[in-house]
Amino acid sequence: SFPYSADELGIAPQDAVKIVTVKQLRPTRPAPPWGIFLVEFASKRLPVLALRRILRAFALRTRQSANAADRAAFRVEDMLFIAVHGAADARRLTFARFSGDQPQSARLSLFDWSPDEPCRTVCEYNLPALCWPESATDTRRVTAIDGVDDLAISKRPCGAFFYEHR
């Protein structure tokens, strides 16, 4: 992985204190369609503003000269964030994705899970949507969470789960 500090990403000190680590997973093929980031936060709740600041640091800008030369840049909808947050004894794992053209107005879709929760819904409904194309030469974008409104990813599986098991 490629580690980044909040200072390298140009994140203000008031947001940087919430960030423990930011790492970009190494691509498995040249010119990967997605940027996948592992982010650890010190706060109990997911700090959406700090996550948005990280998004802004890696977002592809219209003017090529505005992109940072020392790190990859991706379209807003081509980044997946895997965030760890929560108290030491109650850590949560959140999968987050933004959609839209601009980082400041991008819409957030997410689902989360913690080790003390049953994982059936996450395993059956949420994680399979994050699969890669079968062919290693397939360059299409991975559209795992496209077209899903806020929290619908977690609501829809939960609804299906509870309907099936009444």
pLDDT along the chain (166 residues), means of 10: 89 91 84 84 92 91 62 85 90 89 86 81 76 54 41 39 40
Per-residue pLDDT, 132: 58
Q: How far apart are CA 35 and CA 62, in angstroms?
A: 18
Q: Coil, strand or helix: which one is 150?
A: coil
Residue 136 host element (H or E): none
Residue 106 sits at the vertex; the CA angle it makes with 100 and 108, to the nearest 5 degrees, is 110
- pTM of structure: 0.73
Per-residue pLDDT, 74: 86
